[in-house]
Every structure is written in C-alpha cells, then in structure tokens.
C-alpha cells in the first residue's frame, strides 16, 4: 500500500515553492513536467507562517531517491537550507481519488 508523506516548512512562501518546482521542471498550474518516479499525488499550500506539502508515494525509498537526486538541490537553490518543521510518514490503509464534483464546483465552472 502507498505511503503518506507530510512536509511542513516555516518561512517558505509561494515564490520559493514556485522556484523549487521550476527547478524540478514541474508546472504546478498544469500538472505537467518531470515528476519523480514513484509519486502518486502531490498537494501543497500555504499555512500560517509557511508552506505544507502532502504527498502519496509508492514507497519511502522512491521519495528518498528523489530527495537525494533532485529535491534537495532544488530546495537549497530556493534558499531552503534548514530542515522542515515537520517531516512525517504514515502507512496508508486506503488511497482513492474520487472525481465527484460538488454542486458548488459545478456552478463555478459554468
């Protein structure tokens, strides 16, 4: 079963997040680009005073390889030099991506 990874950074803002993704070759507005092997999903957004990333990976080893070969360098280039405030793994018991839009989302799309 897939594994959940939560990374929370203090002081990281949207500009730094965008710089990291640009360096990685991933366009967050379209979802296109050089995604790492083993990633299932990626969600991110601002928190009070920082940024949070929630990902689902096939294995922790896949994320570790990505960190060692690409992400660590991209974070450093964006000025993120210290450890995250939170880095937490959880073994998932379920992972699904339902595609059922709410009536409010459907109205906004119209």
Residue 109 in domain: no
Domain carrying residue 81: 3-90
Q: Give 63-102 pLDDT, tens digit per residue.
A: 999 999 999 999 999 999 889 999 999 999 988 888 777 7
Residue 104 in domain: no
pLDDT confidence of residue 50: 94
Q: The pTM is what?
A: 0.85
Residue 4's H or E segment, with its range, is strand 3-10
* DSSP three-state, residue 78: coil
Residue 96 in domain: no
Residue 95 in domain: no
The CATH number assigned to the domain holding 30 equals: 3.30.70.100
**Structural domains in the chain (count):** 1
Residue 15 in domain: yes
Distant-in-sequence, close-in-space partners of 50: CB < 8 Å, separation ≥ 6: 8, 9, 10, 11, 12, 13, 85
Q: Give 46-57 pLDDT, tens digit per residue.
A: 999 999 999 999
Alpha-carbon torsion, ordered 9, 16, 33, 70, to 10 deg: -70
């Amino acid at each position: 079963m897939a594994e959940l990874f939560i990374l929370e950074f203090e002081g990281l803002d949207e500009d730094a997040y965008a710089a990291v993704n640009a360096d990685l070759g991933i366009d967050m507005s379209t979802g296109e680009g050089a995604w790492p092997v083993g990633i299932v999903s990626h969600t991110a957004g601002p928190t009070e005073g920082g940024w949070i990333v929630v990902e689902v990976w096939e294995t922790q080893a896949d994320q570790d390889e990505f960190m060692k070969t690409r992400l660590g360098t991209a974070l450093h280039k964006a000025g993120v030099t210290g450890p995250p405030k939170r880095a937490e793994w959880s073994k998932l018991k379920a992972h699904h991506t339902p595609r059922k839009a709410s009536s409010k989302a459907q109205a906004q799309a119209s």
